[in-house]
Copies of this chain bind each other. A is one copy, B any other.
Amino acid sequence: MEMVGFDNGVRLDPVLQATDDEFGGVTVEVKDGTKPETFAVLLRNSLSMWNRQGKQGVWIKFPKGLENLHDIAAREGLECHHAERDYLMMINWIPMTPSTLPGNATHRVTIGAIVLNDRREVLVVQEKKGKFRGIWKIPTGTANAGEGIEDAAKREVKEETGIDTEFSDILSFKVLPSAFFRWTEMTFFCAMRPTSFDIQTQESEIDAAEWMPVDAFAAQPFAMEDEVCRHVIDLCYAKLGKGYSGWTPNEVKSNLDDKPSVLYFNPHDLYKSARASANDP
């Protein structure tokens, strides 16, 4: 944890071991077993040195088990940035300019799975708990951290109904601000094709699951009244009618990113119209 700081060759007091980041700031990962009295001294020395060095943001990560150091950091002016189950990240913005430190995560991603078989039936479930109780609805769920939309959709359908699926396309998405704390919920409606047909419901969360004719699904009183549910039914009919193309995932790699990303768009229409326009005089 401890190291001796140098500043223009002059020997300084011991400071925290830090890594420079690409934005002119520093990151410290506090080590297990760091004692409060040691941390207090090192932090004060470090902040003073970073200030002289013109460092911008200071990021300090406290692993679980070091909650006794949070207060020391707060007294030196650090604030919470974000937390996960296994750590708290605190930050300090040294220069006296408005903060341009990147913010916390702000959104959660959920999926709604529209699984249609070739008999104009849609896969529906009834949940044991929550606001949808007693209503036939499509399988829905929250994507895990780092999980892609297609994987989340396949996983939720499998967990809730036992049905294996292939992903087809994203038909639409819904944005609900402040759905949970300050976070916005983005729900991606995914068209899926079943590759197995035996329903096995998830005991803990699902009361019942079945293949229901889309017309019967659309005729439920709730489905006729609720704007979002009506939209899901429009999507079912649109997908059955084959006149609506959703967006498909396409893996690409930017030279500026160190990992691939996935682009979603309507490939047929995009390339058709892009080519037509590029060839315009």
Contacts and interface: CB of A to CB of B under 8 A. Distances in A.
A255 B82 contact: no
Contact of A81 (B85, B146, B228, B235): B85
B243 A272 contact: yes
Q: How big is chain A's contact interface, by range?
A: 35 or more
B278 A237 contact: yes
A6 interface: no
A177 interface: yes
Interface string A86-106: 111100000000001011111
Given A237-B277, A262-B175, A269-B238, A64 B79 contact: yes
Interface string A64-87: 110110110110000111111111
Q: How many copies does the complex hold?
A: 2
A276 interface: yes
Interface string A178-190: 1111111010000
A118 interface: no
A232 B253 CA distance: 13
A198 interface: no
B234 A255 contact: no
A248 to B, nearest CB: 11
B238 A102 contact: no
Contact of A103 (B64, B144, B273): B144
Q: Which 8 A-B pairs have the closest CB atoms?
A: A243-B273, A241-B277, A172-B265, A105-B105, A80-B83, A83-B83, A227-B252, A228-B254
Interface of A: 23, 64-65, 67-68, 70-71, 73-74, 79-89, 100, 102-109, 129, 131-132, 142-146, 148-149, 171-184, 186, 204, 218, 222, 225-229, 231, 234-235, 237-238, 240-245, 247, 249, 252-257, 259, 261-266, 269-278, 280
23 contacts: A80-B84, A80-B88, A82-B82, A82-B84, A83-B83, A105-B105, A105-B106, A105-B108, A106-B108, A145-B182, A145-B183, A172-B263, A172-B264, A172-B265, A175-B264, A176-B259, A186-B186, A228-B254, A228-B261, A228-B263, A234-B271, A234-B274, A238-B274
